[in-house]
Structure 1
Amino acid sequence: MDDVQAVERLTLALENFNSVFIRLPDSGRLSFSALSVLHTLSRVGSCRLSDLVRTEQIKQPALTSAVAKLADDGLMRREPDPLDGRAAVLSLTDAGQALVRERHTDRARRLGVLLERLSPEDRVQLLGVAEIFDRIVHLADEPGEGPQL
């Protein structure tokens, strides 16, 4: 298999895995878009709505609606941007941070159950790629490399 085919195979495997992985914890009453906003803010910290429009890849009206619901639910706060009074800075509340942590813990537990069904060799091999995924995320966050904050 050449590099192009291998990348295509990896892409398909990641897409299929993500469709399972993203649903491991119960999403409850929040949409996937709202949950994505929470997880992004947890990862990158406070930011403006315009920054989230780039990373979340949804239209601004839909994102504005998701942000309003998250704020109404007490999971996110909106504060005036000290550099631009017309804009707001978004950040997680303690409740929002707790929800992200709970989802992470639940997802890790459920993934652990699935990993127990793999061979010991497969588990070791799979668990060893975490650092590589971290590096890919770091590369994607570099300026000019795609959706980022």
Structure 2
Amino acid sequence: MQPAATVTDDDAAIAAGFERFYETLRRLTPRGPLSLTAASTLRRLERSGPHRLCELYAPEGISQPAMTQLVTRLEKEGLAQRTSDPHDGRAVVVSITDAGRAAVADRRRVRAEALAELLQGLTPAQHEAVVGALPALERLSDLAAEQAS
């Protein structure tokens, strides 16, 4: 177990800024049939490929029975599919369907359109700073994913 990191004033300010921006992104998220967890699960399957059912619930912060219910719903809606694991016939592998990819893309497009409108309110330097921060934000996401697994 690693020792707890010392939190600086900058760390606290970054955390507060992320919280506020997360709230903004939630407001920009289209209201629709997909819950945040369903959308996140579909994005994970889109980004990382098929997963065993038992690998999906912990990263989403829900119980295994809740993930089973979610996958059942996604499967009924044609957004995901279950197949037997080729390496272990007792296990189930979940993958995203073309309809699931389209749902994720549509959700992303609607959010990008709303965000583009907000981005127009930035100065060129502020816009450049946001674009410049993207590699660091991607790395933070990767680090968080590594810690979760």
TM-score normalised per structure 2: 0.88
SS at match of 1:63: helix
Query: Kindly tell me: are residues 44 and 23 of structure 1, through their superposed partners in 2, closer, same or farther at Cα, counting changes over 3 Å?
Result: farther
Report deviation, 1:15.
Answer: 1.5
- Residue identity over aligned pairs, in percent, reads 38
Structure 1 equivalent of residue 72 of structure 2? 68
SS at match of 1:80: strand
19-28 or 103-112: which moved more?
A: 19-28
Letter aligned with residue 134 of structure 2: A
Report deviation, 1:141.
Answer: 3.6
TM-score normalised per structure 1: 0.88
Report deviation, 1:132.
Answer: 1.1
Specify which of 77, 89, 92 is matched with residue 85 of structure 1: 89
SS at match of 2:56: helix
Moved over 6 A (4+): none
132-141 or 81-90: which moved more?
A: 132-141
Q: How many residues align?
A: 144
Letter aligned with residue 54 of structure 2: S
Please say if 1:134 is aligned against 2:138: yes
Report deviation, 1:50.
Answer: 1.2
Cα RMSD for the two superposed structures: 1.7
Structure 1 equivalent of residue 34 of structure 2? 30
- For residues 85 and 118 of structure 1, what CA distance do their matches in structure 2 show? 53
Report deviation, 1:41.
Answer: 1.0
Letter aligned with residue 110 of structure 1: A
The answer to which structure, 1 or 2, has the higher relative contact order (CA under 8 A, 6+ apart) is 1
